[in-house]
Amino acid sequence: MRTSTTNTSPRKPLSAGKGGEPPGRRATLLGRIAGWCFDHRVKAVGLWLAALFTIFGAAGAVGPRFSASSAVPDSGSAAGFAVLQEHFPDLGTGGQSGTIVFRARQGVDDPAVRAAMEALFTLVDAGFPDGAGVPEHPGGTVVSPYSEGGKGQIARSGPLANQVAYAQVNLSSAVDDTGSGLLGQAIRAHAPVIEGLEVLPGGQYLAVIEPPQTELIGVAFAVLVLIIAFGSVLAMGLPIAVALGGVGAGIGTTLVLSHLFAIPQGTILLGMMIGLGVGIDYALFIVSRYRDGLHVGRSPRDATVAAMDSAGRAVVFAGTTVMISMLGLLLVGIGWIGGMGIGVSTTVLATMLTSTTLLPALLGFARTRVELTRWRGLIAAGFTAVALLGLGIGLAPLAAAGAAFAVLTLLASVAVRPLRRPVPRRAAKPVRATYAYRWSRTIQRRPWRWLIGATALLLVLAAPVTSLRLGWADEGNFPEETPTRQAYDLLAEGFGAGFNGPFLITVVPGAGDSAQAVRRLHGALERTAGVAAVTPPIANDPARPAAYLMRLVAETAPQDDATSDLVRRLRADVIPEAAAGTGLDVHLTGSAAVNIDITDYLAERMPIFFGAVLALSFLLLMTVFRSLLVPLKAVLMNVLTIGAAYGVVVAVFQWGWAGQLLGIEGGPINPFIPLMLFAVVFGLSMDYEVFMLSRIREEYLRTGDATTSVEDGLASTARVITAAAAIMVVVFASFMLEDLREIKLFGLGLALAVLLDATLVRMVVVPATMELLGDRNWWLPGWIERLLPHFEIEPTQPAVPALDEQLTPAGLAPVSVDCPRRPVVSKA
C-alpha cells in the first residue's frame, strides 16, 4: 500500500531566476532563444514573415523542377538507355514514356482521322510551339502508328480491329514530372474533335495529378480536438498557425531545392501530410507545457522558457529523429528516393523551427489569454471547422455555410456585445485521480497478461507481411474515371495487357555477321513463352549499323509476377544463349524494365536501410535516457508496430480486402513504399516515446520509485499524447480520400501505425514492460556510461516536492500538471 503526504502550507508563487529563467537553474540555449523571441515578439514574427516572403518569392521565381528520372545504377535498363542515348537520341533517353491512345469507330485509317492525329503528333513532337503551356521542345519524340517505326501499333485483329491505335511518346531525362504532366494535359486540350474519335493520354508520366484538398479534413478535425483538449480558441489556434507556417516554409524550400536535388513531385504531398501532423503535435506539446507553467504560478515569460527547456528540447530531439530516418533514404542509392527524404526532412525541419522560435513569439502576444475564451469564439471555431471539412470533401455548399455562419457569429457578437458572465472555474482532477492513472495501475497489476495480449494482437496484424509482394503497380490501378486508366483499359482491350508496358531490346553488334546474329536473336525472342510480339530489328543507320532496336511486348500486364519472371528469364537464359559467340551486347530496357530493376534493387538494400535506422535510433535513445533496456524495448516495439502496419497494408492493397471501400484493386506493393513507411513511422513513433519516457524518467530521478514513476509519467502525458495522436491519425487518414493508390497506401499505413503506437504500445506495452523490468529499466553498464556523451531532454530539476503536493493549499483540490484547469469562459 502506498501513501503520500500532502503539504498544507500556503502556495508560494514560483519566482524567476536570474535573467528571467525558471528558478533553480540556468536556462538552456533553446530557453534563451525562446526568451528572446518572447521579449522581441514583433521582430521575431517580422523575421518569419520576411523569411516566408523570401522563400515563396524564390520558389515562384525559379519554379519547381521535379525529377522524373528513375534510372537504377549498374542495371540492365540503365545500360540499355545509355545505348539509346548514344545511337537513338530521337527516342528519348530518360526511361520515361507514355502513349497517345485513340479509338475511331469509323476506323483509324479514315483519312480525316489520320490527318487529325498526325497533326497532333506533330504538335507533341514540336513541343506545342503555339503556347499550350508545355515547355517548348520537351525532349521527347512521338512514334506514330502510321510511320515505318510504328508498325504493330494499330490493332488489326480482335473485336476492336482497325479501331484502336496508339502512338509511343518517349521522353528524355530533361523532362521533369511537371513538364510531363503538362504535356499530358496539353494532349487532351489539343485532341482533335471528330465525331466517333476518342483520344486519351496514357501512362503514369503523362497523368495529370490534381492538387489535394483532403488535408483540410485533418485541419478541421484538429480544430475540434484542440478545442476539446485546451478549451480555448486561442490555445487551439497557436498549434495550427505554427504548423501551417512550418509546412508553407518547408514546401517553398523544397521547390527551390528541386533544382539542386532529384526530388519527385510526390514529395510535396508527402511533406504536407507529415508536416501537418508533426507540426501540430510539436506545438501542442509546447503549448501544453506552457499552460502547465502558468498553472504552477510562473509568469508567461518564465512559462515559455520552461516549456522550451523541457517540451522544446523533446521537440528538437523528436524532429531530429524523424529527419535522420528520412535522410537515411540516401543510403538506398537511388536519386529520387533520396530526394524524397531530403524534401520531407526539409518540411520537418521547418515545422521544428517554427515550433521553437515562432511559437514563443506568438505566446508573447497571447500571454495569459490562452486561458480565456468566449462562447462566440467557440461557436465561430466550430463553424470554421465545418467550412474546412466542406472544402476537404468537396462540398462547396457546406463550406460556404460554415464560413458564413462563422462570420455572422463574430459580427453578431461585436454588434450585441452582451454582458460578460464568467463561468466558475472547475478544479481539475489531480494526476492520480485521472482515468489514465487508473488505467496504468490496471496494466501494472497484471503486466504479463496485458503484454502477451497486446503483442499477440500486433503479431496477428503483422502476419500478412509474410506474403508481401513487391512490384510496381501499373496504370490499371488508377481510378476508373481518369484518362490514364481509360487509356490503359482501351489499350489492353485492343492489343492485350502487355502493350501497356512494352520493353526495348538494344543490341550493339560485335565482329562478324552481326545482321544474321541479330535476326537469330529476334527469332529466339519471338519463340520465348510469355512473349506476345517482337518488332523487327531497326538499325540506327541502315548503311553502317552501330546499334539495333527491337520492341518486345509480353502477354501479361506490367505488374504481373509472370512479367517479372519473363524479364529475369530473358536476361538470364534466352538472351545469353542467343548471343553466345556472336559478340552482341544486348540489354533489355524500357519503363517496365526500369520498374522491375528498381524492385530488385530496393529489395536488396532494404535490410541495410532498416539496420542503419534501427542502430542509430537505439544509440540516440540510449544516449538520452542513459539506459540499455529502454531503447532496446523501444526499438523492438516500434518494429512490431511497423510490422502490424505493413500487414494491414498488404491485406488491403495486395490482397484487395475492403478494396471497394477505398476504390482500389489488389496489386503489388510499390517497392519504395515500405522504405518510406519505415522511415516516417519509425521517426514519428519516437516522438511519443521521447515525450512519454522523458516524463517517466523525470519522475524516476525525483522519486527513485520505478513503479510510481511509470504511473505518474503515463498519467501526466496521456491526455496530450492522445490528443496529438488523434490529430495525426485523422490528418493521415484523410489522405485515403485521394485518387492515387500510393497516397491512399501512405495514408492508411501512417494512420494505422500512429493509432497502434499511441494505444497498444504506449498505453499497454510500455507500462507492462516497465513494470516487469522495474529498476532494471534504467540500468546502464558503467563502461558504456563513460563512453556516451551527455544529453538530456529534461534538464536537471532542483529538488522540489511533487507538483500535486506543492500546489495543494489547505482546503483546495490539487491541480494536475496534465489536466489543466478549464479556461475562464464568458458569454461575451
**pLDDT one-digit tens code per residue, 476-523:** 888 888 888 899 999 999 888 888 888 889 999 876 667 888 989 999
C-beta separation of 199 from 102 below 8 A: yes
C-beta separation of 654 from 469 below 8 A: yes
Cα distance between residue 33 and residue 568, in whole Å: 58
Cell readout for 500 is: 501497356
- In 3D space, the residue among 397, 345, 386 whose CA is nearest the CA of residue 216 turns out to be 386
pLDDT band at 407 (very low <50, low <70, confident <90, very high): low
Residue of 703 and 376 predicted with greater confidence: 703
**Which residues face 825 on adjacent strands?**
373
Cα distance between residue 332 and residue 322, in whole Å: 17
What DSSP letter does each residue of 558-601 carry, written as one string?
Answer: TTSHHHHHHHHHIIIIIHHHHHTTTT-EEEEESHHHHHHHHHHH
How far out from the chain centre does Cα 303 lie?
A: 33
Q: Which pLDDT score is estimated for 428?
A: 56
Lowest-pLDDT range of 101-110, 278-287, 445-454 = 278-287
Count, in order, helices (H) and strands (E) of the chain: 29, 11
pLDDT band at 600 (very low <50, low <70, confident <90, very high): confident
Q: Which pLDDT score is estimated for 667?
A: 86
Q: Cα separations (Å) of 96 from 81, 204, 205, 274, 538?
A: 10, 9, 7, 28, 21
Cell readout for 154 is: 494499330
99: phi then psi, degrees, rounded to nearest 5: -140, 155
Cα distance between residue 753 and residue 755, in whole Å: 5
Lowest-pLDDT range of 58-67, 243-252, 529-538 = 58-67
**pLDDT one-digit tens code per residue, 153-167:** 888 888 888 899 999
**pLDDT one-digit tens code per residue, 750-808:** 899 989 988 888 889 989 998 998 888 888 888 888 888 877 665 544 433 334 433 33
Structure letter (DSSP) for residue 308: I
Is residue 462 predicted with pLDDT exceeding 90?
yes
Task: List strands edge to edge, sheet with 96-104.
Answer: 141-143, 164-171, 96-104, 197-202
Cell readout for 639 is: 518494429
Mean pLDDT of the 257-280 span: 86
Mean pLDDT of the 120-137 span: 66
Quote the mean pLDDT of the chain: 80
H or E segment to which residue 377 belongs: helix 375-393
User: pTM for the complete prediction?
Assistant: 0.80
List all residues 6 or more positions away from 365 whose beta carbon is below 8 Å from its beta carbon. Answer: 41
CB atoms within 10 A of CB 238: 24
Mean pLDDT of the 456-480 span: 89
- In 3D space, the residue among 287, 270, 266 whose CA is nearest the CA of residue 369 turns out to be 287
Mean pLDDT of the 722-726 span: 84
C-beta separation of 360 from 37 below 8 A: yes
Cell readout for 463 is: 502476419
- Count of CA atoms in the C-beta half-sphere (13 A) of 756: 28
Cell readout for 271 is: 511533406
Cell readout for 23 is: 528558478
- Residue whose cell numbers read 545511337: 87
**Encoded amino acid at 73, one letter:** P
Cell readout for 571 is: 536476361
**pLDDT one-digit tens code per residue, 137-149:** 454 678 889 987 7
